[in-house]
Structure 1
């Protein structure tokens, strides 16, 4: 059966399901029995996915939010932003850098590149400012009002590098009334999680909010190469945010935000030969709390940023200005081979398992700064027609240092040094409008023109295995037009259906990691450039609020085509990272969001997604693994390469499910409650090629939080558990040396106290 026939049959099944749901929901709304006057109702969810505050039901795209209580449950054990993985439909997050560098995937679209200069197709916006560099995207989650994820291309209002979607974080704003909260938790591995905020008026026109977070964990993994005692997997992280709101009247406000982050701890811990050959399972006798490495492992990060958001109400229109600055300094060093010694030293001088050669390296980000400015004009309720338009400017400079070390010599001396420098400037103009054709039908559309330019230079100053490589410079640039069209139709007061078509793009990318490159290769193979990728996406869905506002449901079907998709062939037998463009990638699927009060005491949320992705390029080949894996793809024309046509995208699970349930038992003075959350993703390929060993098994993780609320909800004492079933799973790998893998987070238990004032 051809790919087209398979896609057609799947689309037909999805379409039939969508029609059935659309036809059933109005009937459900009409037949719902009257609710008890005291029955709980779902709170209205407002979002800003279209840069306006709107009810989520009226926005013509798939959007999921996470509220404050859910975030508190997820962050109880000090976990970083990867905790969101699987908690939203179609979302996967992973990292080979640990806490410092998350990689996001929405509907299968992401980037496995581990370079700190890598571009990603998922845009992250924190307090109105795009966080372009992947290191910036790891900023901790604390004192937030809400998290929103808008799926599908968002190129009109959020610009380039958002063809997969946008994740938005909004910090809790300053309030005039004095208040705040304090939260402290302690758990397994001496995990400490402290968070708090204080807010109030400083004068008649100025209010402020100070938010702080501190997370730490003791080392709990023993490196058997240096005797007893725990050496690894600890961290110490602190972040803070200060906000000042100046509001002299209803017609103007200015919100200033300054934030900082400091992290010291362990880089991602790689473990040599933990995968059983011929399978993707952990080896017999594997011990999570032990490693045997001869390299150093450390990670430091310092981040400082600020933004100023201003709004002028000019009557018929409002003017908005968002000014952003971000800077980060990072260094991460690890034992990449995951073991000790090397096979050429003879028997007994290497392990665990076969270690062909040592690999210890580090990446540094000694200089980074990002400036951005947006001006936007928005109409103020013009009746049937409303609009917004604006201009955007972005400027980023980044320096990357790469180091190699000799693990076999005393003191692990440095034996290699390479550099990268990139200057990226972009500007855009955009406009968007909506028109109420009738009381039931609303049309929306928008367009954005973007100009993007990069100046990139890379060189190898000292090579561990080869001569220096003279500076190589490239300057890719492009212009592009992204757009979207959508329609929302109200079947009745409770049920909306919508359709959306959108075009997005990712600007040209550069990859120039020269540390281990073959100096005899031509310059265009040493520094690779990926051309602009474009995506055209079609989406249709239904959103409804039923059962007297006790049930909210959203369902979406989508299909997209990516032309010239930017892919990164990382590692492999060639031990280099190269950018390539695939002729085409096709993705399609279905997504479900549901929240419901099943009883007066039981609140449940459920999310589900099916994401089917396929690379379509008859001639695209990448190097296979260099670590003894079992390849499943046909060989390419160049020795050691394999054709990847027909493969799913890496780190793109077909199935993602999440469930939360909260049950409360009121008392005369408070409430006993229990909250549980579960996330499942199906198997994934770690790399562009398919191999038996480098395939991640399905993963199911659950959390638990149970406790007591009293004092009108101002005080809370709870116990928590994360990964409560103690799942032990390989979530990523290194493929150029041996069967090296890295794991999910361990099971943790703890207690927590929170007070609001």
Structure 2
């Protein structure tokens, strides 16, 4: 099996490199191709990526756009940048991001994450807001390490920052249409330009559709689930009456209907993490039913709307920025969580004469759950002043306000419906300064004070549940929970220009993830849980270099961090609870390397590698492993020492969903076609090393050597501005485990299937 996969991979890469394409724009005949200068706003001012004393990677252009050719969502970014991972058990909403091993496996809609998602200068705090579709994107910045000074709490791991293309007074636009396997149709387009001498605008749209392609073999329904219909739009107006003032209005929305995550029962055999004969890519056995009209087949619907207004005013020596933003969302996801069928009475499920009580494999009870996000509203306001002189000393200072409220209704087929309401308010003040000591040395320091307040109120509970009727549950009386905390974050860094082409940097950063309340267990006769704030101290150092006459860019960083009172979500056990816990410490260390090389005028290569070692340090903390309080406690092979009541000690284990290694690679080769066009081949590959899925260590819930590859072969005409390409995603059709559910059987979540398709793009100016 391994030999076959290796041979397939090697063949695919060889084919791509033997006939392929360049990331930089075609230079004039008299010019020599060099790598373009990349600018970032990781420090809330525009700087060259080579001058910022932070480990940063960027994605744009074909490297970014090719990831979404087959209708992928934001999770396509996973493993495409060293140190960055993402997964979800909520379909196309509620992604969980991890950076340098730090993340949160909590699947609840109120989950707190240490990787912050910032879209067009607005923080997307709720997990549903983080999933807003990506289109008409100018650049993605992956900013590694704590960013608590300028971006605030809940950035202990880092930030993924998305900047869309902004309006300008020059007319331009594009339209892109693609068709792929499983009835996949993608359309993306934008148009913008000057409306008056002072006003310009831009409208961008996205439509992603896929037919249902997975059969429900239990109900006999063909093509019952697996598809989606995603629509999104963005409208921007830029008012700029002078060089000193501008106002940018951003309105955006999203409408999603489709299938939530596909849970597959007993796809592992006890003692192995290989997918077994119960796994079929296009077949499931579902009987989960909350509507009373048959299997629900994991539907999902969400709607978002948002608006932001960015005001910029330049004075003689100071710039002023104000960003006001509002976001709202609502929707639901339903999941047949057990991933199969459990029957009260034996039944011949397959019609082959064999009577079964559950299928596939042993499933002791059915579990179907729907989570509704109700009336999410998020309001943010940032004010910032910054110096705009060429003096050696530069500074910026500001304030930030955040207010959010929403409720989550969890509906279970046995316990009924329970609603909890979350509210969160935050305010902060911050300042940062950098000083150019001499021609070579620049030092930066920053500080921020944040006060965060959260509350939880339990509403109606179990009022329509079967468990309440038969006396297996009772309505509990929970007092409101209110927690608040104030913390200081700070950083100190230095950048030293060793030569004109190489700089060294070092950074110490402190940050925190605010205290968290989790109320989902209330729906299952459990109690809410609270985690104290976690605090991180991180050190890193590295170099950034442009070599070989600006044909090779090589950046690298090494880091070490320690988190006190690190927050974890203990998920699973016999009741599939979601309880927050604090471990004494969490430690991580590793390194990242990013490289881009113009090997020839025709061939461009990029590569990235990260190594990450994480360790939980708490010799008393225990969690429930798979089904630990039920008769099916032998579901998985737990490798940790355990208590007398079967709880697992997790001291020394790696963080969950923290890949030990990540490697990614792209190659683009071009063949000129006359004076105005070229043929190209582009290939991209991503590899994920050993990854533990849960807090405890077991044979079954661990992945290794996952990889996926993509391919684009096409023709681009520069004069007429069009591109036609044949594309493939997951071209070797890998079946990679992305997640699992452990509470009553060996349920797995697997990646998307192979997609082949064609795509055409027209760009106009």
TM-score of the alignment, normalized to the shorter chain, above 0.5: yes
1:437 aligns with 2:437: yes
How many Å separate the matches in 1 of 2:34 and 2:273? 46
Residue aligning to 2:422: 422
State whether residues 697 and 730 of structure 1, in contact with CA within 8 Å, keep that contact through their aligned partners in structure 2. Answer: no
Residue 42 of structure 1, aligned match among 32, 35, 47: 35
State whether residues 238 and 248 of structure 2, in contact with CA within 8 Å, keep that contact through their aligned partners in structure 1. Answer: yes
Residue aligning to 1:559: 560
Deviation at 1:610, TM superposition (A): 0.2
Give unpaired runs (5+ residues) of structure 1.
1-35, 407-414, 520-525
How many Å separate the matches in 2 of 1:510 and 1:382? 46
Residue aligning to 1:16: none
SS of the counterpart of 2:577? coil
Residue aligning to 1:593: 594
How many Å separate the matches in 2 of 1:261 and 1:69? 24
How many Å separate the matches in 1 of 2:259 and 2:112? 24
How many Å separate the matches in 1 of 2:133 and 2:48? 27
How many Å separate the matches in 1 of 2:443 and 2:365? 61
Residue aligning to 2:292: none
Residue aligning to 1:751: 758
Residue 365 of structure 1, aligned match among 368, 373, 378: 373
Residue aligning to 1:327: 328
Residue aligning to 1:681: 688
Residue aligning to 2:579: 578
The number of residues matched between the two structures is 708
Residue 716 of structure 1, aligned match among 718, 723, 729: 723
State whether residues 343 and 350 of structure 1, in contact with CA within 8 Å, keep that contact through their aligned partners in structure 2. Answer: no
Residue aligning to 2:616: 615
Q: Which runs of 4+ in 1 moved over 4 A?
A: 343-347
How many Å separate the matches in 1 of 2:369 and 2:83? 33
State whether residues 458 and 514 of structure 1, in contact with CA within 8 Å, keep that contact through their aligned partners in structure 2. Answer: no
Quickly say closer, same or farther: Cα 1:574–1:225, change in 2 above 3 A. Answer: closer
Residue aligning to 2:531: 530
Deviation at 1:343, TM superposition (A): 6.8
Residue aligning to 1:249: 242
Residue 483 of structure 2, aligned match among 476, 480, 485: 476
State whether residues 264 and 279 of structure 2, in contact with CA within 8 Å, keep that contact through their aligned partners in structure 1. Answer: no
Deviation at 1:601, TM superposition (A): 0.7
Q: Which moved more, 1:123-132 or 1:572-581?
A: 572-581
Q: Could you list the per-position Cα deviations for residues 236-259 of structure 1 after superposition, in whole angstroms to 9, with x for gaps in the alignment?
A: 000000000000010000000000
Give unpaired runs (5+ residues) of structure 2.
1-28, 289-295, 348-354
Deviation at 1:68, TM superposition (A): 2.1
Q: Could you list the per-position Cα deviations for residues 309-368 of structure 1 after superposition, in whole angstroms to 9, with x for gaps in the alignment?
A: 110001100000001110010100111111112477685232111010010010001111
Q: Which moved more, 1:232-241 or 1:171-180?
A: 171-180
State whether residues 267 and 278 of structure 2, in contact with CA within 8 Å, keep that contact through their aligned partners in structure 1. Answer: no
State whether residues 266 and 278 of structure 2, in contact with CA within 8 Å, keep that contact through their aligned partners in structure 1. Answer: no
Residue 402 of structure 2, aligned match among 394, 400, 415: 394
State whether residues 418 and 514 of structure 1, in contact with CA within 8 Å, keep that contact through their aligned partners in structure 2. Answer: no
Q: How large is the RMSD of aligned CA atoms in angstroms?
A: 1.5
State whether residues 604 and 659 of structure 1, in contact with CA within 8 Å, keep that contact through their aligned partners in structure 2. Answer: yes
How many Å separate the matches in 2 of 1:67 and 1:175? 19
Instruction: Kindly report which structure 2 residues correspond to 1:478-517, keeping only aligned pairs within 5 A, or say none.
Output: 478-515=485-522, 517=524
Residue 162 of structure 2, aligned match among 163, 169, 176: 169
State whether residues 670 and 713 of structure 1, in contact with CA within 8 Å, keep that contact through their aligned partners in structure 2. Answer: no
State whether residues 330 and 364 of structure 1, in contact with CA within 8 Å, keep that contact through their aligned partners in structure 2. Answer: yes
Deviation at 1:298, TM superposition (A): 0.4
1:258 aligns with 2:264: no
How many Å separate the matches in 2 of 1:394 and 1:345? 54
How many Å separate the matches in 2 of 1:271 and 1:492? 55
How many Å separate the matches in 1 of 2:636 and 2:216? 26
1:545 aligns with 2:546: yes
Deviation at 1:516, TM superposition (A): 5.2
Quickly say closer, same or farther: Cα 1:713–1:564, change in 2 above 3 A. Answer: farther
How many Å separate the matches in 1 of 2:273 and 2:573? 17
State whether residues 156 and 513 of structure 2, in contact with CA within 8 Å, keep that contact through their aligned partners in structure 1. Answer: yes
Deviation at 1:461, TM superposition (A): 3.3
Residue aligning to 2:15: none
1:664 aligns with 2:664: no
Residue aligning to 1:284: 277
SS of the counterpart of 1:693? coil
1:203 aligns with 2:196: yes
State whether residues 402 and 515 of structure 1, in contact with CA within 8 Å, keep that contact through their aligned partners in structure 2. Answer: no
State whether residues 418 and 523 of structure 2, in contact with CA within 8 Å, keep that contact through their aligned partners in structure 1. Answer: no
Residue aligning to 2:11: none
Deviation at 1:515, TM superposition (A): 4.9
How many Å separate the matches in 2 of 1:571 and 1:370? 30
Q: Which moved more, 1:391-400 or 1:570-579?
A: 570-579
Deviation at 1:514, TM superposition (A): 3.1
Deviation at 1:696, TM superposition (A): 1.9
How many Å separate the matches in 2 of 1:271 and 1:484? 45
Deviation at 1:200, TM superposition (A): 1.1
State whether residues 143 and 160 of structure 2, in contact with CA within 8 Å, keep that contact through their aligned partners in structure 1. Answer: yes
Deviation at 1:382, TM superposition (A): 4.1
SS of the counterpart of 1:452? strand
Q: Could you list the per-position Cα deviations for residues 212-271 of structure 1 after superposition, in whole angstroms to 9, with x for gaps in the alignment?
A: 000000000000112251101000000000000000010000000000000001111111
Residue aligning to 2:9: none
How many Å separate the matches in 2 of 1:318 and 1:516? 50
Deviation at 1:468, TM superposition (A): 1.6
State whether residues 510 and 527 of structure 1, in contact with CA within 8 Å, keep that contact through their aligned partners in structure 2. Answer: yes
How many Å separate the matches in 2 of 1:152 and 1:344? 54
Q: Could you list the per-position Cα deviations for residues 147-200 of structure 1 after superposition, in whole angstroms to 9, with x for gaps in the alignment?
A: 001000000000000000001000100121222000000000000010000001
SS of the counterpart of 1:700? strand
Residue aligning to 2:26: none
Residue aligning to 2:656: 650
How many Å separate the matches in 2 of 1:743 and 1:470? 39
Quickly say closer, same or farther: Cα 1:711–1:150, change in 2 above 3 A. Answer: closer
How many Å separate the matches in 1 of 2:560 and 2:636? 33
Residue 746 of structure 2, aligned match among 739, 742, 750: 739
1:456 aligns with 2:456: yes
State whether residues 367 and 400 of structure 1, in contact with CA within 8 Å, keep that contact through their aligned partners in structure 2. Answer: no
State whether residues 173 and 209 of structure 1, in contact with CA within 8 Å, keep that contact through their aligned partners in structure 2. Answer: yes
State whether residues 462 and 523 of structure 2, in contact with CA within 8 Å, keep that contact through their aligned partners in structure 1. Answer: no
Deviation at 1:616, TM superposition (A): 0.3
Instruction: Kindly report which structure 2 residues correspond to 1:396-415, keeping only aligned pairs within 5 A, or say none.
Output: 396-405=404-413
Q: Could you list the per-position Cα deviations for residues 657-716 of structure 1 after superposition, in whole angstroms to 9, with x for gaps in the alignment?
A: 111111111111310001000000112111100111111232110000110011426100
How many Å separate the matches in 2 of 1:535 and 1:158? 15
How many Å separate the matches in 2 of 1:338 and 1:249? 60
How many Å separate the matches in 2 of 1:398 and 1:69? 38
How many Å separate the matches in 2 of 1:426 and 1:646? 34
State whether residues 396 and 423 of structure 1, in contact with CA within 8 Å, keep that contact through their aligned partners in structure 2. Answer: yes
Residue aligning to 1:5: none
Deviation at 1:655, TM superposition (A): 0.2
Deviation at 1:282, TM superposition (A): 0.7
Quickly say closer, same or farther: Cα 1:458–1:514, change in 2 above 3 A. Answer: farther
Deviation at 1:458, TM superposition (A): 2.5
SS of the counterpart of 1:570? strand
Please give the TM-score of this superposition, normalised by the length of structure 1. 0.92
How many Å separate the matches in 2 of 1:145 and 1:353? 48
Instruction: Kindly report which structure 2 residues correspond to 1:620-639, keeping only aligned pairs within 5 A, or say none.
Output: 620-626=621-627, 628-636=635-643, 639=645
State whether residues 454 and 475 of structure 1, in contact with CA within 8 Å, keep that contact through their aligned partners in structure 2. Answer: yes
How many Å separate the matches in 2 of 1:675 and 1:149? 22
SS of the counterpart of 1:349? strand
Deviation at 1:71, TM superposition (A): 1.6
